[in-house]
């Protein structure tokens, strides 16, 4: 059995799965249920400024008959009285001393407010802070949340205030509502943050109601841009994560990965790309806390299969495989192959290639089943057919190198090799 | 003893309720619709005699474009609602579904088709706009699937159609010859009305070719004539005792049941059904559901050669009908002209015959069944006399047509069971479409 226990900035948890700062972590009742279900830790829903919430608050994107492929919310930070939150945090820490308790903060934009709240939270026995520089709605209009995260200088200033007062480890949570997370990341690392977490939600409109003609979520005939999360944002989160994991400065601090993680597989992918642990919200909001069971078991089984004994054995292992386009090997070539024994003759590979790609699949008419084969000389190895094929491993990509030697784009140009030759 | 009124009204209702209940709601339909892979050049579509664009109409259910879905179905098959209930889909669209190749359950195409078409009928969506009348008139004989399909196609193009139907209701065998738990009489009537709602089609009921109207009259009064008159009489067994009381043919039996209501139909205690086609299954299961104590189906070949589908056979077996393979009726024995016994020959299989199936050969052995009713469902024979009398070239009563659906008589076209000797409803619908196209060409209408 692999050891899936996690140590993030000295904060220990029995597994690397934390619940992200969000509605599931806004009170004792939920948090105790989460701990009972087996979650390694929680980031308590953001405390700080005074707010008032609206109704409704959430909306979702469904896809292909599946609910909540993407999810957005217009809820603000915690709207419960601070003293109750603090009391409940202390009680949760006492009841589950082996779990991580991080408290998310977003104070008003002055040093005093930050220092005050830090002091109060430290008294609860919590293990660390996460600074909410990411919330993209409601708080931004007041110059908070994403408004801080989008400006490296302001972010730096706030982190400096925090570091003056905090004795506990500090994680700074980054907003993806920027063209790059690296400038703010660097800035807050310089200011002394102990770790980074990303991504927060992405500004979005999930859709428009075709009867009322008002976008979702609906609030008295209006809506606002909400923070997008859930499985749909995972690829974007992975990209931002990798840029932080590759940057010379930001890679020096641990990263907590967030963004559409629903399964142990998602979690492993985040960790391979540099996250030391992960935070989950939408998947739990859709299915409840019980999903952590399979996350732990799946992670464990995968580690055993691959021979990884601890999380550190694989964290960051894939970071260096993301390279620059001009470093890719142009002599690498692969060609699709259709396994006729597995083919169910649905024609999806054919029509995708024929209409939208390189006309590299041959259709031999049959009634009712056509036969589909690859025109090897036409196939550019784009993967489209394999991606749309509904049968596992029916279409595989077979390596057919153009030449044995590695030649990248720069070298290709230098040698004057042929261009636009397809 | 043969008697009617064997059951209580509630028992009748239960026994003849819908055998395949529809989806409760759109959510349920979408679960299956979303499972559809949306195949290209889809095997299901190729396996449909009317070439319904199945992936398209299913995708339209998934996007909640139910009106569009119904339009897609009806464009190819105006009886798409009825076909969703009576088609032997396991050997057509659903049998070809690619999920079968994964050893997974196929998409329930018929059930999805029923969802959209029933919505269309219930809401009376008029999905087709008839072109203005162009002053051409076509007479159609028979308001069955072929005739209605032909009529709808022609009317759409602005042709004025008159249908002559010998019965008092339209729908043909859909209305009169199919088990009531598949389509109810009310449904059949609604479907006919829905098809006719396009306008431009007048149906003259209780008009029979050769009795109240003549082909010559139709030729004189119309620009073209389409014969979709189906098949009629049940095939005779040609065995001694066949004319005794208690020997009935399946089509009349079902016809009676559909026309006069379940309680009025007399059925025996012990019933033998001869044949193993769809009609035989319908007759056997309905006899059972009318209260017969024992129903035994006899077929002269084996399960491998039977004309009905496995699915149909399962229905009969679930209704506790006994099946005896390799048995052919030899003689009906009775007392006072009332059936008491059916003597059968045991058969064995010989060489393949013209149909490609191994032919049954009589053995020396016989056995007899104690029965009080025999239902003959060994196929139907065409209206040979009527057709020959009118000078129409035929093959043992089946009208011969060329590739343009034309008979030997100029301006007279034909299709459906009258031509093929008896196939599925969906085949007749396609024949009607083909006939309409041929008539349009004949009338020089683009």
Task: Point out the residues of A that are catalytic.
Answer: 135
CB contact under 8 A, B46 and A367: yes
For the ranges A173-187, A342-356, B248-262, the lowest mean pLDDT is seen at: B248-262
Cross-sheet strand order for the sheet of A66-73 = A58-63, A66-73, A226-229, A202-204
Same fold, A6-321 and A326-414: no
User: Is the minimum CB–CB distance between A367 and chain B shorter than 8 Å?
Assistant: yes
- With 0-12 / 13-18 / 19 or more C-beta atoms within 10 angstroms meaning exposed / middle / buried, residue B445 is middle
* Residues of chain A with C-beta less than 8 angstroms from the C-beta of B38: 348
Q: Closest-CA residue in chain A for B94?
A: A368
Nearest Cβ partner of B31 from A65, A367, A391? A65
Interface contacts (A, B; CB < 8 Å): 45
Buried b (16+ CB within 10 A) or exposed e, B65-104: ebebbbbbbbbbbbbbbbbbbbbbbbbbbbbbbbbbbeee
- Look at residue A383 and tell me whether its pLDDT is greater than 80: yes
CB–CB of B37 and A350 under 8 A? no
Q: Which chain A residues contact residue B31 at CB under 8 A?
A: 65
Decide: B255 and B176 in contact? Cβ < 8 Å. Answer: yes
Residues 40-99 of A with CB under 8 A from B: 64-65
| Gap between the terminal Cα atoms of chain A | 51
Closest CA to A131 of A191, A90, A180: A191
Average pLDDT taken over every residue of chain B? 95
Instruction: Give the homologous superfamily in CATH for domain B235-379.
Output: FAD/NAD(P)-binding domain (3.50.50.60)
Q: To which H or E segment does residue B144 belong?
A: none
pLDDT value of position A191: 98
DSSP state of B107: P
* Alpha carbon of residue A199 to chain centroid: 6
Which of the listed CATH numbers 3.30.1780.10, 3.30.70.20, 3.40.50.2300, 3.40.50.620 matches domain A326-414? 3.30.70.20
Instruction: For domain A6-321, give the CATH number.
Output: 3.20.20.70
Residues A346, B37: C-beta atoms closer than 8 Å: yes
Tell me whether A369 touches chain B (CB under 8 Å).
yes
Give how far A341 is from chain B: nearest CA, Å. 10
Nearest to B402 by CA among A255, B393, A333: B393
Q: Do B38 and A363 touch (CB under 8 A)?
A: no
Give the gap in angstroms from C-alpha B438 to the nearest C-alpha of chain A.
Answer: 25
Write the CB contacts of B135 (distance below 8 Å, at least 6 apart in sequence).
Answer: B160
Residues 6+ apart with CB under 8 A from A15: A4, A5, A6, A38, A39, A40, A292, A295, A296, A299
* Chain B, nearest residue to A391 by Cα: B102
Query: Taking Cα atoms as reference points, which of B192, B198, B120 lies closest to residue B154?
Result: B198
CATH code at B19-122? 1.10.1060.10
* Contact assignment for B96 to A347 by CB distance below 8 Å: no
- Give how far Cα A260 sits from Cα of A269, A270, A273, Å: 11, 10, 15
Low-confidence residues in chain B, pLDDT < 70: none
Q: How far is B93 from chain A (nearest CA, A)?
A: 10
* Contact assignment for B98 to A363 by CB distance below 8 Å: no
Give the per-residue pLDDT at A17.
98
- Minimum Cα–Cα distance from A354: chain B residue: B40
Rounded CA separation B230/B383 (Å): 8
CATH of B137-232+382-442, one of 3.50.50.60, 3.40.50.620, 3.40.50.1240, 3.30.70.1150: 3.50.50.60
Residues of A in contact with B26 (CB under 8 A): none
Contact residues on chain A for B42, CB-CB shorter than 8 A:
346-347
Interface residues of chain B, partner chain A, Cβ below 8 Å: 30-31, 33-35, 37-44, 46-47, 62, 96, 98-99, 101-102
Closest residue of chain B to A64, computed from CA coordinates: B34
Mean pLDDT (chain A) is 96
- Does B40 sit within 8 Å of A351, measured CB to CB? yes
What are the sequence ranges of the domains in chain A? 6-321, 326-414
Per-residue model confidence as pLDDT tens digits over A209-241: 999 999 999 999 999 999 999 999 999 999 999
Question: Residue B59 has which token pair?
Answer: 């995708």
Hey, what are A223's tokens?
Answer: 């809506």
Partner B, chain A 321-350, Cβ-Cβ below 8 Å? 344-348, 350
> Which residues in chain B are closer than 8 Å to A64, comparing Cβ atoms?
34, 62
C-alpha B354 chain-centroid distance: 24
Q: What is the pLDDT of residue B1?
A: 86
d(CA A198, CA A260): 11
Contacts of A346 in chain B (CB under 8 A): 37, 39-40, 42, 98
* A393 and chain B in contact, CB less than 8 A: no
pLDDT digits (tens, 9 = 90+) for B363-377: 999 999 999 999 999
So what's the pLDDT on residue B19? 80
- Chain A residues with CB under 8 Å of B102 CB are 344, 391
Smallest Cβ–Cβ distance between A344 and the set B31, B40, B98 belongs to B98
Given a cut of 80, is residue A99 above it in pLDDT?
yes
User: Mind telling me how many Å the CA of B92 is from chain A's nearest CA?
Assistant: 10
- Chain B residues touching A345 at Cβ < 8 A: 39, 43, 98, 101
- Residue pointed to by tokens 């004795």: A167
Q: In this predicted structure, what is the pLDDT of residue B59?
A: 98
- On the question of pLDDT at A286 being above 90, the answer is yes
ipTM of the complex: 0.91
Nearest to A347 among B35, B41, B102 (CB): B41
Q: Chain B residue with minimal CA distance to A65?
A: B34
- Note the pLDDT tens digit of each residue in B378-414: 888 899 999 999 999 999 999 999 999 999 999 999 9
What local confidence, expressed as pLDDT, does residue A310 receive?
98
* Spans of all domains in chain B: 19-122, 137-232+382-442, 235-379
pLDDT score for B379: 86
A392 touching chain B per CB within 8 A: no
The distance of A230 to chain B (nearest Cα, Å) reads 21
Q: Using CA coordinates, name the residue in chain A closest to B92.
A: A368
B235-379 matches B137-232+382-442 in CATH topology = yes
Counting other chains too, the contacts that B360-366 makes at CB distance below 8 Å and 24 or more residues apart are: B360/B300, B360/B301, B360/B326, B360/B328, B362/B328, B366/B330
Residue of B nearest to A392 (CA): B102
Q: pLDDT-derived band of residue A311, with 50, 70 and 90 as boundaries? A: very high
Partners of A350 on chain B (C-beta within 8 Å) are: 40-41
* Of A65, A344, A350, Cβ closest to residue B40: A350
Q: Smallest Cβ distance to A345: which of B33, B35, B98?
A: B98
If 0-12 CB within 10 Å is exposed, 13-18 middle and 19+ buried, where does residue B130 land? middle
What is the per-residue pLDDT across B332-368, written as a single tens digit (0 to 9) for each? 999 999 999 999 999 999 988 887 888 899 999 999 9
Which residues of chain B make contact with A65, given a CB cutoff of 8 A? 30-31, 33-35, 62
SS3 string, chain A, reads CCECCEEECCEEECCCEEECCCHHHCCHHHHHHHHHHCCCEEEEEEEECCCCCCCCCEEEEEECCEEEEEEEECCCCCCCCHHHHHHHHHHHHHHCCCCEEEEEEECCCCHHHHHHHHHHHHCCCCCEEEEECCCCCCCHHHCCCHHHHCCHHHHHHHHHHHHHHCCCCEEEECCCCCCCCHHHHHHHHHCCCCEEEECCCEEECCCECCCCCCECCCECCECCCEEEECHHHHHHHHHHHHHHHHCCCHHHCCEEEECCCCCHHHHHHHHHCCCCEEEECHHHHHHCCCHHHHHHHHHHHHHHHHCCCEHHHCCCCCHHHCCCHHHCCCCCCEEEEECCCCCCCCCHHHHHHHHHCCCCEEEECCCCCCEEEECCCCCCCCCHHHHHCCCCCCEEEEECCCCCCCCCHHHHHHCCCCCCCC
Q: Say whether B96 and A368 touch across the interface (CB within 8 A).
A: yes
């Amino acid at each position: 059995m692999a050891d899936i226990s996690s140590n993030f900035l000295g904060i220990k948890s029995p597994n690397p799965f934390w619940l992200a700062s969000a509605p599931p972590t806004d009170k004792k009742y939920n948090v105790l249920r989460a701990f009972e279900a087996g979650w390694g830790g929680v980031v308590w829903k953001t405390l700080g400024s005074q707010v008032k919430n609206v109704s409704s608050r959430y909306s979702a994107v469904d896809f292909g008959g599946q609910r909540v492929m993407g999810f957005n919310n217009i809820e603000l930070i915690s709207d419960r009285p601070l003293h109750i939150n603090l009391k409940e945090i202390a009680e949760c820490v006492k009841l589950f001393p082996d779990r991580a308790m991080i408290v998310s903060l977003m104070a008003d934009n002055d040093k005093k407010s930050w220092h005050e709240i830090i002091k109060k939270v430290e008294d609860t026995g919590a293990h660390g802070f996460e600074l909410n520089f990411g919330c993209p709605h409601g708080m931004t209009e007041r110059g908070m949340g994403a408004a801080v995260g989008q400006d490296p200088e302001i972010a730096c200033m706030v982190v400096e205030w925090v570091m003056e007062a905090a004795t506990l480890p500090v994680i700074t949570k980054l907003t993806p509502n920027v063209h790059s997370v690296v400038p703010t990341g660097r800035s807050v690392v310089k200011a002394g943050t102990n770790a980074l977490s990303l991504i927060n939600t992405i500004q979005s409109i999930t859709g428009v109601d075709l009867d009322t003609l008002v976008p979702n979520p609906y609030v008295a005939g209006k809506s606002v841009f909400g923070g997008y999360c859930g499985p749909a944002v995972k690829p974007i989160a992975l990209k931002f994560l990798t840029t932080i994991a590759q940057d010379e400065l930001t890679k020096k601090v641990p990263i907590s990965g967030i963004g559409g993680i629903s399964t142990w597989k998602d979690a492993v992918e985040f960790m391979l790309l540099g996250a030391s642990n992960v935070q989950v919200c939408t998947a739990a909001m859709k299915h409840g806390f019980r999903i952590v069971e399979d996350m732990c078991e799946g992670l464990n089984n995968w580690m055993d299969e691959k021979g990884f004994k601890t999380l550190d054995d694989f964290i960051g292992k894939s970071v260096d495989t993301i390279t620059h386009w001009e470093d890719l090997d142009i002599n690498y070539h692969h060609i699709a192959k259709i396994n006729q024994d597995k083919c169910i003759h649905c024609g999806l590979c054919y029509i995708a290639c024929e209409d939208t790609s390189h006309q590299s699949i041959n259709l031999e008419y049959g009634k009712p089943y056509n036969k589909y084969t690859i025109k090897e000389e036409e196939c550019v190895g784009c993967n489209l057919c394999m991606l749309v094929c509904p049968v596992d491993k029916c279409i595989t990509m077979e390596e057919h190198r153009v030449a044995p030697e590695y030649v990248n784009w720069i070298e290709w140009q230098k040698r004057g090799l042929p261009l636009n030759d397809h | 003893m043969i008697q009617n009124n064997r059951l209580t009204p509630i028992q009748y209702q239960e026994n003849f309720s819908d055998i395949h209940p529809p989806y409760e709601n759109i959510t349920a339909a979408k679960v299956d619709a979303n499972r559809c892979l949306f195949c290209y050049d889809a095997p299901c579509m190729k396996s449909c005699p009317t070439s319904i664009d199945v992936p398209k109409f299913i995708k339209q259910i998934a996007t909640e474009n139910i009106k569009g879905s119904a339009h897609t179905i009806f464009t190819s098959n105006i009886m798409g609602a009825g076909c969703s209930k009576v088609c032997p889909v396991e050997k057509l669209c659903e049998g070809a579904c690619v999920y079968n190749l994964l050893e997974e359950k196929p998409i329930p195409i018929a059930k999805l088709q029923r969802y959209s078409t029933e919505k269309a009928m219930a809401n009376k969506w008029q999905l087709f706009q008839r072109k203005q009348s162009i002053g051409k008139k076509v007479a159609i004989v028979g308001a069955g699937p072929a005739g209605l399909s032909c009529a709808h196609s022609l009317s759409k193009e602005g042709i004025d159609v008159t249908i002559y139907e010998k019965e008092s209701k339209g729908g043909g065998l859909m209305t009169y010859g199919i088990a009531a738990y598949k389509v109810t009489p009310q449904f059949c009537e609604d479907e006919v009305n829905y098809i006719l709602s396009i306008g431009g089609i007048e149906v003259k009921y209780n008009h029979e070719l050769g009795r109240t109207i003549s082909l010559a009259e139709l030729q004189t009064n119309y620009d073209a004539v389409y014969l979709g008159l189906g098949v009629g009489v049940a095939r005779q067994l040609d065995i001694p005792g066949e004319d005794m009381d208690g020997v009935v043919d399946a089509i009349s039996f079902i016809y009676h049941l559909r026309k006069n209501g379940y309680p009025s139909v007399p059925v025996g205690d012990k019933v033998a059904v001869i044949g193993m086609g769809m009609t035989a299954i319908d007759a056997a299961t309905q006899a059972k559901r009318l209260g017969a104590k024992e129903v035994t189906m006899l077929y002269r070949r084996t399960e491998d050669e039977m004309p009905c589908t496995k699915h149909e056979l399962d229905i009969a077996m679930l209704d506790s009908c006994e099946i005896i393979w390799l048995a052919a009726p030899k003689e009906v024995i009775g007392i006072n002209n009332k059936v008491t016994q059916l003597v059968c020959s045991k058969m064995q299989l010989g060489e393949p015959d013209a149909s490609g199936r191994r032919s049954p050969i009589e053995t020396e052995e016989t056995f007899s069944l104690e029965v009080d009713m025999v239902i003959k469902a060994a196929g139907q024979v065409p209206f040979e006399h009527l057709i020959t009398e009118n000078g129409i070239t035929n093959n043992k009563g089946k009208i011969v047509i060329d590739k343009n659906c034309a008979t030997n008589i100029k301006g007279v076209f034909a299709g459906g069971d009258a031509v093929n000797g008896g196939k599925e409803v969906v085949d007749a619908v396609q024949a009607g479409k083909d006939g309409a196209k041929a008539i349009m060409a004949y009338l020089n209408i683009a």
